[in-house]
Amino acid sequence: MFGYYSPADLELPRRRRFLQESGLGFGSLALAGMLNGESAFAQTDVADPLAPKQPHFPGKVKSIIWLFMTGAPSQVDTWDYKPELQQRDGQDLAGADPKTGFFTTSGKCLKSPFPWAQHGESGSWVSGIFPHLSKHVDKMCFLHSMHLQQNNHAPASLELMCGTNRPGLPALGAWMTYGLGSLNRNLPSYVVLHDTRPRGDDQIWSAGFLPKTYQALALDARRKESVDNLARDARHSDSQQRAQLDLLKRLNQEHAAARPTQADLAARINSYELAYRMQMAAPEALDLTKESEATHKLYGMDNPECATFSRQCLLARRLVERGVRFVQIFAGKGVGGDGSVNDVPWDCHSDVETNHRSCGLHTDQPAAALLADLEARGMLDSTLVIWGGEFGRTSDSQGAKGRDHNPNGFTIWLAGAGVKGGLHYGSTDPFGYKAVEKKVHVNDLHATLLKLMGLEHTKLTHRFNGRDFRLTDVGGEILTEILA
């Protein structure tokens, strides 16, 4: 038999509380990519974590655009010309290790199948797959002695972007946003553009243990780089939506006040607010119809070979023009030796000639147009463009015509603000197999990039699990010789 309970005994919720909790069911903005994977982290400034912050010293670079050549281009077929390799095709490669890469190589030299020529006042050697980029070599600072530890795509990409291959660490773009804040409160400070998702996936652009406020916004080319769930529900007015967000903010702040160690709650509040502000700014920034027909042709948007990458490069220019600090473009599909589509475009295990020729067509014109466009607009003085993949390729063959992975020596180039153009820094051996002179580790590259942004890499730290972490871990030497 049930007993009798008075209304007081039932402790019915107050009317205001009931309305507050019911209000959460009306729907709200969701930038799922920015809120994905939240967990407890150290505190952040709830009020304004993305406010512009003073750098450690004046920086020469305002924004970075990284053209990430997914799949790893061969250094000896792109920017690192090796006459010795050309002359000794098919001969034994001294010191070759068949297990350098992910599979097994022959130990026999494989020459580059492409014509090479010198360009610019610097006389820089460039492979024939880059007829457009070759015109800009005097802007480029080549790092020929890059090297890593990891020899497969996902861990090497993690190492290159996060300083180590251990998952869960923040990427370079997240560290920069954490250290400098945002230049445009209506757009994310860190944006990723991709076609197929690269090996390593979200971990490559993760905020790691940093508050999720510093997470990248990833835009998928297959959906024309639209922002998911950004548009306001047509049934609600702007004032209604603003009221809903104010309610959400107040409830989240009450919840956060009782849980002072969970900064992900603050990140959620700020992400909702950013999404609200982006409703006007993001569609305008991503609208390429505002660009002239001449600009579209410059980037190659009328060329089906490179239309996707051209659109992404033009978007990158528009984003940095509007104050986005870090834009990273992951190159899309390439073609394998058998003609199949390759989701890691520059991966040339079976046929380097077919693969790299296809990748050159996909990326050359848009990348060159980006440099030319930035320069024409006076933006190259404050923007640094980076070109490179997660490692290099072997100088000996895999099979008859392919190249395996090679983390021991590869080339990355930088162009624009803060670096010397037409400079070749470091070198590989005469066959392009290993870095031998002025070797550059990823920690050195990161220390240098942070320097250019006005950040001292040893001072940019975040306490996590009782330890002060930094992007460069316990390493990192600034490459002073490349700085302008």
Looking at residue 2, its pLDDT comes to 45
Q: Hey, what long-range contacts does 204-207 have (CB within 8 A, 24 or more apart)? A: 204/157, 204/158, 204/161, 204/162, 204/171, 205/161, 205/171, 205/173, 205/174, 205/328, 206/37, 206/162, 206/168, 206/169, 206/170, 206/171, 206/174, 207/170, 207/171, 207/174
Query: Mind listing the pLDDT tens digit for each residue in 341-400?
Result: 667 899 999 999 999 999 999 999 999 999 999 999 999 999 999 999 999 999 999 999
Looking at residue 228, its pLDDT comes to 61
Our CA dihedral for 85, 91, 95, 98, rounded to 10 degrees, sits at 100
Task: Report the distance separating Cα 115 and Cα 466, nearest Å.
Answer: 55
Q: Smallest Cα–Cα separation from 158: which of 197, 105, 199, 217?
A: 199
Q: With 70 as the cut, is the pLDDT of residue 17 above it?
A: no
Structural domains in the chain plus CATH codes: 48-226+286-482 (3.40.720)
Looking at residue 39, its pLDDT comes to 34
Residues 331/363, Cβ–Cβ less than 8 Å: yes
Show the tokens assigned to 282. Answer: 């993001």
Q: Based on C-alpha coordinates, what's the Rg of the chain?
A: 25
Tell me the DSSP string of 247-294.
Answer: HHHHHHHHHHHT-TT-THHHHHHHHHHHHHHHHHHHHHHT-GGGS-HH
Mean per-residue pLDDT over the chain, rounded: 86
Query: Mind listing the pLDDT tens digit for each residue in 451-481?
Result: 999 999 999 999 999 999 999 999 999 999 9
Task: Report the distance separating Cα 82 and Cα 111, nearest Å.
Answer: 9
Query: Mind listing the pLDDT tens digit for each residue in 110-119?
Result: 999 999 999 9
Show the tokens assigned to 285. Answer: 């920034």
Give residue 191's pLDDT band: very low, low, confident or very high (50, 70, 90): very high
Q: Smallest Cα–Cα separation from 282: which of 339, 214, 357, 232?
A: 232
Looking at residue 10, its pLDDT comes to 47
Residues 188/324, Cβ–Cβ less than 8 Å: yes
Q: Smallest Cα–Cα separation from 60: which of 417, 481, 413?
A: 417
Q: With 80 as the cut, is the pLDDT of residue 201 above it?
A: no
Q: What are phi and psi of 326, to 5 degrees?
A: -140, 120
Stretch 7-17: mean pLDDT: 50
Q: With 70 as the cut, is the pLDDT of residue 264 above it?
A: no
A 10 A CB-CB count for 229 gives 13
Is pLDDT larger for residue 475 or for residue 42?
A: 475
Residues 271/50, Cβ–Cβ less than 8 Å: no
Looking at residue 232, its pLDDT comes to 57
Which region among 22-31, 84-93, 406-415 has the lowest average model confidence (pLDDT)? 22-31
- Name every residue whose Cβ is closer than 8 Å to that of residue 306 and which is 6 or more positions away in sequence: 300, 361, 362, 363, 364, 365, 366
Count the residues in the chain.
484
- What pTM, to 2 d.p., does this model score? 0.85
